[in-house]
Amino acid sequence: MKCPFCSHSETQVVETRVSEDGDFIRRRRQCGACEKRFTTYERPDVNFPTVVKKDGRRIEFDRTKLRGSMNLALRKRPVSTEQIDSAIERMEEKLLSLGVREIPSTRIGELVMRELKKLDKVAYVRFASVYRSFEDIDEFKTLVDEVRR
Whole-model pTM? 0.63
Q: What is d(CA 25, CA 43) in angstroms, rounded to the nearest whole number?
A: 7
Instruction: Tell me if 137 is assigned to some domain.
Output: yes
Residue 1 lies in a domain: no
Q: Could you tell me if 26 and 19 are in contact, meaning their C-beta atoms sit under 8 angstroms apart? A: yes
Instruction: Say whether both 20 and 72 belong to one domain.
Output: no
How much helix, strand and coil, in percent to the nearest 5, is found in the chain? 45, 20, 35
SS3 119: helix
- Statement to judge: residues 132 and 59 lie in one domain: yes
Q: Find how far residue 122's CA is from the centre of its chain.
A: 18
- Give average pLDDT by consecutive 10-residue segment, the chain, 149 residues: 94 93 91 96 85 94 92 93 93 91 93 93 86 73 78
CA distance 111 to 103: 12
Counting the structural domains of the chain, the total is 2
CA–CA separation, 46 and 113 (whole Å): 24
